[in-house]
Amino acid sequence: MDKAKIAVFVSGGGTNLQALIDSAAAGQMPHARLSLVISSKEGVYALERAKAAGIPAYAVPRKTFDSREAYEKEILKMLDQEEIDLIVLAGFLSVLSADFVSKFPDRIINIHPSLIPSFCGDGFYGLKVHEEALRYGVKVTGATVHFVNEVTDGGRIILQKAVSVEDGDTPETLQKRVMEQAEWVLLPRAVEQISKEICDSNPDIKVHSYSNS
Ligand code: GRF
């Protein structure tokens, strides 16, 4: 292995996935290889983005399985087959069990669209996060990339970036600014940072330079 193999879990439009694809294409993630995309929903645009980039991509909807156990067993099988080193949750709306999460200590990361510990935890996803930030009246918000543990949005923080709240913001305008200025910048940076740590922890790994990757 010369690069950490990454699985990106998605549920929607996949703009964060696109940021990873673009960053990899620009040679900015030399220690990471995007190897698998798993969507919790059929027909989402994230799957198209993955296919256009030549990344194996599959929809694995929870509702097509009898139990959470069977669902997670299928996901584990896919991760095993691709020999995945790091799981990136990029707008993944299905809940992973504590049992699943505990199998991958420090090997699952998530992007959350606020400065944790503000506006996070159960129920804080999508526009709701920005609605609450505006309702509270904060002047600064942002995004956080963190490790995933059994507590929703509770794992160790990896990177954060602040974004200004402007007069007249709506949840939609704030969401867009947080994505453009923070999420799409932070996520590739965090993936490269953790991938490098994974590669560096194995002395046999020789990392390809940009030119021969
Ligand atoms: C992003 O706001 C991300 O922070 C959150 O879900 C959203 C996903 O958007 N976890 P996209 O599918 O990457 O466009």
What pLDDT, on the 0 to 100 scale, is given for residue 207?
42
Please give the CATH topology (third level) of the domain spanning 4-209: Rossmann fold (3.40.50)
Look at residues 73, 11, 76 and name the one whose alpha carbon lies nearest to residue 42.
11
Give the global pTM.
0.93
Residue 130 designated active-site = no
Domain borders along the chain are 4-209
Question: Residue 161: exposed, middle, or buried by beta-carbon count in 10 A (0-12, 13-18, 19+)?
Answer: middle
Pocket-testing residue among 10, 39, 109, 111, ligand 1, by greatest number of atoms within 8 A of Cβ: 111
What proportion of the chain, given as a percentage, has pLDDT over 70?
94
Separation of 141 CA from ligand 1 center, angstroms?
A: 15
Residue nearest to atom 3 of ligand 1 (CA): 91
Q: In whole angstroms, give the CA distance from residue 106 to residue 45.
A: 28
Segment 157-177 mean pLDDT:
98
Separation of 76 CA from ligand 1 center, angstroms?
A: 23
What pLDDT, on the 0 to 100 scale, is given for residue 193?
98
